[in-house]
Structure formats: structure tokens, C-alpha cells
Amino acid sequence: MSLTITPISSALGAQIDGVDLTRPLSPQQRDAIEQALLEHQVIFFKDQSITPQQQARFAANFGDLHIHPIYPNVPEQPEVLVLDTAVTDVRDNAVWHTDVTFLPTPAMGAVLSAKQLPAFGGDTLWASGIAAFEGLSRPLQVLLDGLTATHDFTKSFPLERFGSTPEDFLRWDQTRKNNPPLSHPVVRTHPVSGRKSLFVNEGFTTKINELSEAESEAILKLLFAHSTRPEYTIRWRWQENDVAFWDNRVTQHYAVDDYRPNRRVMHRATILGDAPF
């Protein structure tokens, strides 16, 4: 069966119908999904009651999978992490961020599956770094292209929230030692499409290295606000068994924290990427 791809907005986002993610993909389906991801940056599949094993299998079509150093995972499928508000404080997801940019090779993408949802709230927003870069004036594009920025694990995973018990502290401290602050380009070139994208995010980016502290603070404040203008974003209202697949190289996302004390459970498989350039 051929896939049906329905765009959601001009900046990013599309819904894909005509594929069953509980079954292995054919080569043609895999290639069509990858092409849709390149074009639309985040794609959605509805009514996909996938197990963690099926989710990992689907994600592995597009690269090796990452095991998160902090979040709990599905014991029998450790590549699938669990975002369960009854178990883990997930406030760090309620900020615009690109996943694991504290790694030398940040994630290529991620596959998120909705398992248990509150009666209302809990939407997720995505923003296109490509649209944001292309929306800048040419002089500012030229200024930013070639600069680098520092990304720090501890900005979204502070000790006071993720090291409260001896066991948690040991995990946090080892993760911090394994992931010291590092630098990525402020403007990233997509390794497949060649398109340029802003690659700074409020979750992990702390400074622009080549600028003074005051200049860096002012430019980052501008870029964080500019990158998430409504015209560069979409908002997805989850239904149970929805699956989202986003290109982490050129997007940010924000999980809206507006449903407490109700419970929200999501499963995520993260696909490893390459060094930004």
C-alpha cells in the first residue's frame, strides 16, 4: 500500500497514513518515510499500537539507537526510554530544546509513542531551525555562520533535581564526567539535504564562544525567541497510540507541562547521529 503524506504547515510537519508500524517496513516504505522526514522535519503516524520492541525496530531502520544516561528505560528494551510523570520529573522537557546536544554526535532523530495521556493538555510543539535560519536577515545569517556555541548537559539536568539520592547523584555525576561542555556550530548544515539550520537551543546552549559575555547573552536571547516564532512551529494534540518521528538535526521541541497532577506516559527511541558541521 502506498503512503499518503498530508502536510500540516509550510514550515514543518506532515501526517503519514498507509503504513503499519507494528510490522517490519519494506525498503520502499523505509525510503519514503525518510524522504518525508527530510522534507517535513517531523512526521506523525496515528493509531499505531506499537510495543517497545516494535518501536525500537522501526527506529533502527534509520540508525543505531541511543541509551539515555539519566531517564529510565523499558527493562527488556533499554533503547526505549520512559517519560512517565508518575516516576520522573520531566520539567526539563517543558523548554525549547534539541535532544542530547551535549553529545559530540547529537541524535539524528527520535521516535515518540503516546502510551497514556491526560484527559486534556500535554501537547508537544516543534520548531523548524531551517525556517528560523531562512527567516533571519542576510547580514545576521552571515554573522552567525561560522560561529560556535557551548552546549552543557547540566543546563537541563541540574544537580538539585537529578542528584537528590545517592544513587541518582552517582548516575548524574558519571554522566557529567562523561559529557563535559562542548561546542557545536551555531548554524548547522544538514548532512543529507545540505540546508542550513539554526542549531542553538535553550535547553543546552550556554554561550556563543567567539562573542563577549554580553554579546553572547543578547544574541542567544534573540535567537531563542526568533527560533520559536509561531510561523516556524506546529503544535500536536496527542491521541493515544500516536507516533511522532522528528529530525533532531534541524528541529527543536517543547512538551507543554499543563496537565498536572494528571499522568502522561510516553516512550521514546532516540537515533544516534553524526558530528554537526
- Predicted local distance difference test score (pLDDT) of residue 21: 97
> With bands split at pLDDT 50, 70 and 90, how would you rate the model's confidence at 156?
confident
CA angle 59, 61, 64 (to 5 degrees): 70
CA angle 125, 130, 213 (to 5 degrees): 90
Residues 6 or more apart from 74 whose CB is under 8 A from it?
A: 52, 80, 81, 82, 267
- Residue ranges of E strands in the chain: 4-7, 14-17, 42-45, 65-66, 73-74, 77-84, 109-116, 124-128, 148-151, 182-185, 187-189, 196-198, 205-208, 233-236, 243-247, 251-255, 265-271
- Pick 53 or 158 by higher pLDDT: 53
Residues 6 or more apart from 160 whose CB is under 8 A from it?
A: none
- Predicted local distance difference test score (pLDDT) of residue 107: 95
| Catalytic machinery residues | 97, 99, 253, 268
pLDDT in tens, 104-144: 999 999 999 999 999 999 999 999 999 999 999 999 999 99
**Whole-number mean pLDDT of the chain?**
94
CA distance 99 to 109: 8
- Predicted local distance difference test score (pLDDT) of residue 93: 77
- Predicted local distance difference test score (pLDDT) of residue 71: 84
> With bands split at pLDDT 50, 70 and 90, how would you rate the model's confidence at 254?
very high
What radius of gyration do the chain's Cα atoms show?
Answer: 18
The proportion of the chain whose per-residue pLDDT surpasses 90, expressed as a percent, equals 83
> With bands split at pLDDT 50, 70 and 90, how would you rate the model's confidence at 247?
very high
pLDDT in tens, 181-202: 999 999 999 999 999 999 999 9
Residues 6 or more apart from 6 whose CB is under 8 A from it?
A: 14, 15, 16, 17
pLDDT (mean) for 32-48: 98
- Predicted local distance difference test score (pLDDT) of residue 1: 60
Residue 235: pLDDT over 90: yes
CA distance 154 to 179: 9
Residue 185 is which amino acid?
P
Name the strands in the sheet holding 182-185, side by side, starting at the edge strand that comes first in the sequence: 182-185, 148-151, 205-208
3-state secondary structure of 29: helix
Residue 252 dihedral angles phi and psi, to the nearest 5°:
-120, 165
pLDDT (mean) for 21-30: 96
pLDDT (mean) for 265-277: 96
pLDDT (mean) for 38-62: 98
Q: How far apart are the first and last CA of the chain?
A: 37
